Structure formats: C-alpha cells, structure tokens
Amino acid sequence: MSVYYTKDHEWIRVSQNIGVVGISSHAATQLGDVVYVELPELGKKLIKGEELAVVESVKAASEVYSPVAGEVLSVNETLEDQPQTVNESPDDGGWFVKISISDMNDLESLMSQDEYSAYCIGS
C-alpha cells in the first residue's frame, strides 16, 4: 500500500487500483474546526484535479480535489454526522471517498510522503 500527496494537500492511499482519498493533517490544521463536509454521489466519475468534495470550517469553505481520475465506490458517511473526524483523524478515519483509479499513471505526478513534508516546510 502506497500513499501519495498533492500540492493541494490531498492524500491518496493506493492498493492495487483502489484509492482512498482524504486531506492531510497539515490541511486539517490550516482549516481549523471542520463543521460540514459535502461528499460526491456514489458512481460519480472523477477527473483528476477537479472538485471531489467541499469542506466547511469555522474559517472558510474549501474544495477537495481528486488526485486521480476514477469512479466513486464509497463515501465516508461518518463525516455527515461527525465532520470533526476530519480534524481528529485526517490520515485515517477522516477519509472522504474510495475510488477505482482509471489510470494508474496519474500517480506519477503526485508526491511521496518525504516530498510532501519538504513541500509543506518550504511553503
């Protein structure tokens, strides 16, 4: 299982051609207390770089972008009633969607954990 990151602070944990997508702990900290999460419909076709979800916090509303192209297989329904899970467990329980990845080559433009950590320090 590999984890990749985007410059917009999303992560994707990949096993074969299935990806679980969330936002990084860095992003969750920057957002502040999350109060609402809007998730996509099951079966939605996602395009890499396009909006996947919307997160509203006490500070702002922010889009979450899909790190890869694919189709939504499941959504984290826990976030509907407990959006604070994004803050409490951004790298685990606060995931947004599971998707089937259409093109594994999409992963090549993403960062490793080390690259992402260096990116966060530099930005």
- Domain for residue 39, yes or no? yes
- Helix, strand, or coil (residue 30): helix
34/87 Cα distance (integer angstroms): 7
Residue 91 sits in which domain range? 2-112
pLDDT in tens, 33-90: 999 999 999 999 999 999 999 999 998 899 999 999 999 999 999 999 999 999 999 9
Residue 117 in domain: no
Residue where the block lists tokens 């900290």: 29
Asked whether residue 27 is domain-assigned, the answer is yes
* DSSP helix/strand/coil, 88: helix
In this prediction, residue 84 carries a pLDDT of: 96
Residue 43 lies in a domain: yes
Quick one: average pLDDT of 88-101?
96
Identify whether 35 is part of a domain.
yes
Beta carbons of 72 and 18 less than 8 angstroms apart: no
- Give the CATH number, domain containing residue 103: 2.40.50.100
- Cβ-count burial of 39 within 10 angstroms (0-12 exposed, 13-18 middle, 19+ buried)? buried
Q: In the β-sheet with 34-38, what is the strand arrangement from edge to edge? A: 34-38, 51-57, 61-65
Q: How confident is the model at residue 29 (pLDDT cuts 50, 70, 90)?
A: very high
Q: How many domains does the chain have?
A: 1
Residue 108 counted as domain residue? yes
58 falls within a domain: yes
